[in-house]
Structure 1
Amino acid sequence: MPSTPQQLQTSAQAFSRVSNFPRVIGAIDGTHVAIKAPSIDEAIYINRKRFHSLNVQVVCDGNGLIINYSARFPGSTHDAYIWRNCNLRHHFSRGTFGDYLLLGDSGYPLEPFIMTPVTNPTNEAEELYNRAHVRTRVVVERTLGIVKNRFRCIHRSGGELQYTPLRSAKIITACLLLHNRCVRRGIPDPNDHLQEEDMPNEAHLGGDGDHGGTGRETRDMIIREFYG
């Protein structure tokens, strides 16, 4: 994650150039990586598509560099639960990143430091906000697609990882870090682009549910000042 004022500003500028969305330093999403059925607690690894997986939380910057991740939760775990129980959220809650923001889809809770789409927009400003949100946040979906294209062992077209959840998490982590090395060295993306195969999140578990007290106020302010 960016830490110095200059790094924070540079990261926010990269996202702002996409669609004028202010103060964003990262886009967050979850992705499922198929694993073989574990011998212990097998049921909790079955996700909503009925295959065994780890649900991996990823945050990337505007250049597709992965700046935070968590690969320790079983497939039945919802994105919002992973977010609420990760160290990164605690840092945002403590004000480590000031007034800078993450962008998440409707599977995440609306909080002062994580902006989600307006579930039922009622005016043009909210619709403009939603369009800017989608165009800006798509970088994380694209990044996840690229990672799985580079390393087919974590894409479902490559089958499933034939290891324990702990060993699988280490393999996934290695793939994420190797992706960053590719980005930093300017190695081209794979030519044969597979689609990210994950399922959409349930909007009612995130979206407009304001778990942070002032999340709605922050979003309303952004809509009013930048898209009104």
Structure 2
Amino acid sequence: MAFALPVWIAVQDELLGHGADGESPNCFDSFDDETLFEMFHLTRTCVAFVADTVRLHMRKRRTNLSVEDMVMVTLDYYAQGLSSAAVQNRVSLSLAESFGAICAVTEVIADMADRFISFPETLDARASVATDVEKFCGIPKVLGVLAPGHFRVRTSTSEKGSYKNFLNSLGYTSVQTQIICDCEGNILSAAGCWAGSTSEMKIWESSAKGKEMEEGVNGSYWLIGGEGYCLSKAVLSPVVHPTSVKEIRFNQAHEKILDIMRTTLASMMSRFRCLMQLGFAEESSLDKKGNIIKACCVLHNIAKKFSVPLPPESGEVEPLHLVMQYQGEAGESNLEALKARHELIDSSFSEERK
């Protein structure tokens, strides 16, 4: 569940409560449903909800610009990766105003993350998510899938220090956000923004969610992590060199649930083409890049809530790889975690359980 039903109802009530003096998102009415979806990769109902929600939060900001125009140019940028001529001809904003509008609306949507991106915090919520994961792949006591989402950026090759910081192990320059999703592809957490060369373990160990999970705040649950993560109390990595049928079966189940993250990130890039190339990046601009990524995560969850289909492929989507930096069991020095994984494999993947 991307966000709890009470949260959804509260948002709907809040919008309805302010609807009397609110404006209808009629600037989108100049497009028919098919054209609107082609342009924004969202349905009319979903676009209206996003526009209403942004309008409600923009009331707290001073702007002489039409909120509808601001939302339109922002959704256009997210979907197309640039400002299209069709939208620029429709709105009454200069290029400078459009850039400012994208920054402002992105900040508003990113600030809504605590309402639309929800990690299971209660006992019942955690049990429900873990049950869904076990039904999906057979691995018990799992709250979600953990991975770094890498998003391409440009950097100046003349600035060797900066270029090296953004160059990831896959051979291209990127920024990355630590993302957790459930087995249905809903984003449960999207935190921070780091240069592409930063290891996923460094990000995990320094993140608030990492410290919280490793300290057992959420109970004795795991997150599924690829081989770029070290097996720990909270991160369940695959067996690097399986030697038995049950270990092979566990790895197959692990790969099945891990593939949900690949699909989720690929889906986000397909819907929000801006994530395919976030432009030039500097260490000082990481917060701005992180806001765009977080805003797209928020809209991803909202789109799933409205059952919005993915757009037809308009080009080859960037293949997603989870970086492998830990090779062999050398990184798995936590004997307690090794024992816990061994017991999990014995109890859930032995031949007797087949």
Q: Output the TM-score relative to the length of structure 2.
A: 0.59
1:83 aligns with 2:204: yes
Q: 2:128 aligns with which of 2, 6, 10?
A: 10
Aligned residue runs from structure 1 range 106-121, under 5 A: 106-121=227-242
- Distance verdict in 2 for CA 1:196–1:98, change over 3 Å: farther
Q: Distance in 2 between matches of 1:227 and 1:64?
A: 24
Q: Distance in 1 between matches of 2:319 and 2:177?
A: 13
Displacement of 1:208: 6.1
Displacement of 1:198: 3.5
Of 124-133 and 160-169, deviating more is 160-169
The code of the aligned residue for 2:150 comes to H
Contact kept in structure 2, 1:107 and 1:206, CA below 8 Å: no
Q: Distance in 1 between matches of 2:216 and 2:193?
A: 25
1:21 aligns to what? Answer: 139
Q: Distance in 2 between matches of 1:70 and 1:46?
A: 20
1:30 aligns with 2:163: no
Q: Distance in 2 between matches of 1:221 and 1:194?
A: 42
- Seq. identity, %: 24
Q: Distance in 1 between matches of 2:325 and 2:139?
A: 22
Q: Give secondary structure in 2 for the equivalent of 1:102.
A: strand
Q: Distance in 2 between matches of 1:176 and 1:191?
A: 20
Aligned residue runs from structure 1 range 59-208, under 5 A: 59-155=180-276, 159-162=277-280, 164-192=285-313, 194-204=316-326
The code of the aligned residue for 2:264 comes to T
Displacement of 1:106: 0.5
Contact kept in structure 2, 1:106 and 1:206, CA below 8 Å: no
2:62 aligns to what? Answer: none
Q: Give secondary structure in 2 for the equivalent of 1:96.
A: coil
Q: Distance in 2 between matches of 1:194 and 1:16?
A: 33
Q: Distance in 1 between matches of 2:211 and 2:317?
A: 32
Q: 1:220 aligns with which of 342, 345, 354?
A: 342
2:331 aligns to what? Answer: 209
Displacement of 1:101: 1.0
- Distance verdict in 2 for CA 1:7–1:54, change over 3 Å: same
Unaligned runs of 5+ in 1: none
Higher relative contact order (CA 8 A, sep 6+): 1
**Aligned residue pair count:** 225
Deviations, residues 156-191 of structure 1 (Å, cap 9, x unaligned): xxx442463332221111111111111122212333
Counting helix residues as a fraction of each chain, which structure ranks higher?
2
Q: Distance in 2 between matches of 1:105 and 1:49?
A: 15
Contact kept in structure 2, 1:57 and 1:82, CA below 8 Å: yes
Q: Give secondary structure in 1 for the equivalent of 2:331.
A: coil
Deviations, residues 48-73 of structure 1 (Å, cap 9, x unaligned): 24432102221001221111122321
Contact kept in structure 2, 1:117 and 1:207, CA below 8 Å: no
The code of the aligned residue for 2:332 comes to D
Contact kept in structure 2, 1:110 and 1:212, CA below 8 Å: yes
The code of the aligned residue for 1:73 comes to W
Q: Distance in 1 between matches of 2:290 and 2:278?
A: 13
Q: Give secondary structure in 2 for the equivalent of 1:187.
A: coil
- Distance verdict in 2 for CA 1:120–1:151, change over 3 Å: same
2:93 aligns to what? Answer: none
Q: Distance in 1 between matches of 2:318 and 2:184?
A: 18
- Distance verdict in 2 for CA 1:48–1:136, change over 3 Å: closer
Contact kept in structure 2, 1:15 and 1:25, CA below 8 Å: yes
Q: Give secondary structure in 2 for the equivalent of 1:58.
A: strand
Unaligned runs of 5+ in 2: 1-118
Counting strand residues as a fraction of each chain, which structure ranks higher?
1
Q: Distance in 2 between matches of 1:110 and 1:94?
A: 15
- Distance verdict in 2 for CA 1:176–1:209, change over 3 Å: same
- Distance verdict in 2 for CA 1:2–1:189, change over 3 Å: same
